[in-house]
Structure 1
Amino acid sequence: MAKDHTNFFNNVYEVVKLIPAGRVTSYGAIAQYLGTKSGARMVGWAMNAAHGLSDVPAHRVVNRSGVLTGRHHFQTPTLMQERLEAEGVKVNDDKIEGFKEVYWEPIKELEL
């Protein structure tokens, strides 16, 4: 029987909704915050499924190096970059410039 990932996906979405405009985080950081340190791939799956959800800013989730690895899952390959740049995040060659300065780490920002 397939495992129901609905609750995990919803937990991911709740964290993503908290990322401030102009900031980004990584799949792995969300997974770690949710207690599944090796669950970055699952967070990626959740993000891929989030594109129909207008209240989940999926464009703010990138890989651990600041690369826009999820860009191909948006309506156009440039939409992720366009949304980030509209929030003041600089992107060059599909990678965030000044990644450390705009990085938002949920485990620190949302201390329990």
Structure 2
Amino acid sequence: MQQDNLNERIWQVVAAIPQGRVATYGQVAALAGAPRHARYVGTVLKHLPAGSTLPWFRVLNAKGELSFPKDSSAYQRQREALEAEGVVFIAGRVNLATFGV
């Protein structure tokens, strides 16, 4: 599995997540052809260039939670971006059955 090719597939999967919907890191990995590489998806998204328009904020952990610490600006930025698209949080979680792809 070539890293550059996998990165490109991950970017394509994330770009295809519709507005107002979310996917988990594991789902993105599986759809990119790399099941069991959920952590790698997080690494790829973490290293996006500044100003990237890829909707990275639509990717959550398997519990439907944001992976950033709750008191961080990154957590707030991701949550606000999702809420602006109509995604609802209940007790800090997104219902994956309702908002998942």
Which SS does the other structure have where 1:82 is aligned?
A: helix
> Structure 2-normalised TM-score?
0.84
Alpha-carbon RMSD across the aligned residues, in angstroms, is: 2.3
1:53-109 Cα deviation digits (max 9, x unpaired)? 52200000001110101468x86430000000000001244321x3211101xxxxx
> Structure 1-normalised TM-score?
0.76
**CA distance change for structure 1 residues 30 and 91 in 2, over 3 Å: closer, same or farther?**
same
Aligned to 1:109: none
Could you tell me how far apart the structure 2 residues matched to 1:36 and 1:27 are? 11
2:39 equivalent to 1:18: no
Superposition map of 1:1-112 within 5 A:
5-50=3-48, 52-70=50-68, 76-96=74-94, 98-104=95-101
Q: Is the 8 A contact 1:26 1:63 kept in 2?
A: yes
Letter in structure 2 aligned against 1:61: V
Could you tell me how far apart the structure 1 residues matched to 2:12 and 2:67 are? 21
Q: Is the 8 A contact 1:81 1:94 kept in 2?
A: no
Letter in structure 1 aligned against 2:53: D
Could you tell me how far apart the structure 2 residues matched to 1:51 and 1:99 are? 28
Q: How many residues are matched?
A: 100
| Alpha-carbon shift at residue 35 of structure 1 (Å) | 2.0
Unpaired segments of 5 or more residues in structure 2? none
| Alpha-carbon shift at residue 47 of structure 1 (Å) | 1.2
**CA distance change for structure 1 residues 66 and 51 in 2, over 3 Å: closer, same or farther?**
farther
Unpaired segments of 5 or more residues in structure 1? 105-112
Q: What is the percentage of aligned positions where both structures have the same residue?
A: 30
